[in-house]
Structure 1
C-alpha cells in the first residue's frame, strides 16, 4: 500500500520520528514494542524469521526493490514514499540503505527453549556498544554457534545499529536475556562448560582449552560450551569470573595486549566450534 509522504509531521510515520530506539521497545501501540530494521537484506531476514512489519519508509528510487523484498505482503503493508532529503530530515540520519521498516518485537523465548538443542552458546555480559553487540552476534552465527544470551545490562540486540551490523543474523539465532546473570547454574545443570574470555593469571590459552574439548569429542563425548564475553574495557565482572568453570585467553603477538571484544569473540567462536565439530561451511 503506497502512501506518498508530503507532511513530515504525519502521525502515521511517528514510528520513525517521535520514538527513539529506547521508546520503541515500550511502544503502547504494539504488544511488545517495536524495533527498526534497516536495509533490504535485514528486512528480508526479519520477514523470513516471521517478524511482522507495521510500516516501511523508502524513496521512489528503491521502491521496486522494496516491493520485491516484501513480496506478496507489499500490498498489505503501509509503504511511505518520500524524497531523500525528506527521509534524512525525518529519521535524523542518511538513509542510504534503501529502506527502513518498523517491525513488531517478537516475544523473547524462555531460556529452556533457547538451550534445548544448543551445544555452543555466546553470552554477552554488559556490552554497551551496539556495534560490538551486532558484530559479536554476526560472528557467532557465522562460526556455527547455536544461540545468544545477554545479561540484563547488555545493549539491546534489536537496536537499529546492532541489527544492521549483525546483518540481520540476530533473527537467525535464538536469543534471550538471562535474567539471573551472573548465576550460571541453569547452564551448568544442562551440562554446559561456562568459559569466560579474560586476561587473567588463572586463564588457560584458547588452543589449550580447545584441545581439551577436542579430546572429549574424540572419546565419544559431546561437550557443550557457553562462551562469555565481558564488557568493553573492564571485561567480565568479578561475579561473572567467579561463576565460570574455566577462564580462557587468546595468545597475542607484536606487543598487542588485547583485542576488541567483537574481534575476540570471532576468534574464540571459530576455535570452539572447530573443536566441538559443530562448524559447517555453507559455501
Structure 2
C-alpha cells in the first residue's frame, strides 16, 4: 500500500518531494531532464492506469482531494508515495492548472532494439524528426488503432513519453512497441535486411499513389513520414524503396503528418483472409 502524504503548506511549492512534477510547462527543461533521470509524467486517471497496465513502475502520485477515492485501488496496490495537495499548490508546482487532478511520475523502461522489433513485425512506421509532441502522440494513437506493430524514431524526434505526447495519445504510447534509431537514414538497411519494403511519403515526381502501394501487397512494409513543414530529408528519400503520395483534391497538396499517417495505416493494414 502506498503512503498517503498530505502536503498543505501553501508557501512551499518547492517541496523536494514534489520535484518530479516541478515546471511541467518548461518544455526544454523537461525534454532534457526526464530521459536523463529515467522518468516521465502520466496525466489523468486513464493514462495512469494504462501506464501501470503496460508495466511501468510508479515513482509517486500527485492527487487533489477529489481524486483520492477514484484512485483508491491504485493507492492500495502500489508502494510509491501518494502526495495529496490542493489544486492551488498543484498549479504552482507544475506551472499550469491540473484540471484532470491526477498526475503520476513513472519510471521509464529500457528501449528494445530495432532488430528485436522488426523480427516480430509486418507493419512498422518510421518518423523522421517529428518535433511536435501533439503530432507524435496522435500518430501513436493512430498506430495503436490501425494495426501498426512497431514505431521507429529518428534521433531528433520528439519524446513519445513527454507529458503532452502521452496525453494526446491517450496512453497509446504504452501500447505500441517503439525505439529510437541511432543512425538515420543509414538504418534503412536494418529494415531492408529484415525484409521490409520502405515507403516514403512525399510529393516527389516519381511517387506512386497510396492505392498503387496497397495493390502491390507487400508482406512487410515500413511507412516513413517526415517532419512538419519540410517533410522527409533528401537522404531519407534516396534511401527509401518507394515514394508514395496520398492523392488530394480541392487544391490541397498535403495533410498534417498525424492525419497522413492515419490514412496510410488504414490503407496498408494487414487484412485477415
TM-score (norm 1): 0.89
Task: Please tell me whether the aligned partners of residues 55 and 102 of structure 1 are also in contact (alpha carbons under 8 angstroms).
Answer: yes
Question: What is the CA deviation profile of residues 185-240 of structure 1, one whole-angstrom value per residue up to 9, with x for unaligned ones?
Answer: 11001100100110111110001110111xx6xxxxxx101101100000000000
DSSP-derived class of the 1:25 partner = helix
Q: Describe the SS at the equivalent of 2:61.
A: strand
1:4 aligned to 2:6? Answer: yes
| Per-residue CA distance 1:70-107 (angstroms, 9 max, x = gap) | 26424x22111111111111101111123111111111
> What stretches of structure 2 of length at least 5 have no aligned partner?
none
What is the Cα deviation at residue 63 of structure 1?
1.0
3-state DSSP of counterpart to 1:188:
helix
Partner of 2:119: 116
Does the C-alpha gap of structure 1 residues 226 and 57 become closer, same or farther in structure 2, counting only changes over 3 Å?
same
8 A contact 1:144–1:278 mirrored in 2:
no
Runs of 4+ off more than 6 Å: none
1:138 maps to 2:132: no
Contact 2:206–2:243, Cα closer than 8 Å, also in 1: yes
Aligned counterparts, 1:77-226, within 5 A: 77-183=80-186, 184-213=188-217, 223-226=219-222
Residue 21 of structure 1 contacts residue 160 of structure 1 at CA under 8 Å; is this kept in 2?
no
Partner of 2:35: 25
Shift of 1:67: 2.1
Please list the CA deviations of residues 244-266 of structure 1 after superposition, one character each: whole Å capped at 9, or x if unmatched: 00010001111111110100000
Greater mean deviation of Cα atoms: 226-235 or 98-107? 98-107
Supply the distance in 2 between the matched residues of 1:186 and 1:278 (Cα, whole angstroms): 27
Classify the secondary structure of the residue corresponding to 2:20.
Answer: coil
1: CA distance, partners of 2:23 / 2:136: 25
Change in Cα spacing, 1:278 to 1:259, as seen in structure 2 (3 Å) is: farther
Contact kept, 8 Å, 1:56 with 1:101, in 2: the verdict is yes
Residue in 1 aligned with 2:232?
236
- Structure 1 unpaired stretches of 5+: 28-32, 217-222
Q: How many residues align?
A: 262
Whether the 8 Å CA contact 2:146–2:266 is kept in 1: the answer is yes
User: Following the alignment from structure 1 to structure 2, what is the Cα–Cα distance between the partners of residues 61 and 241?
Assistant: 52
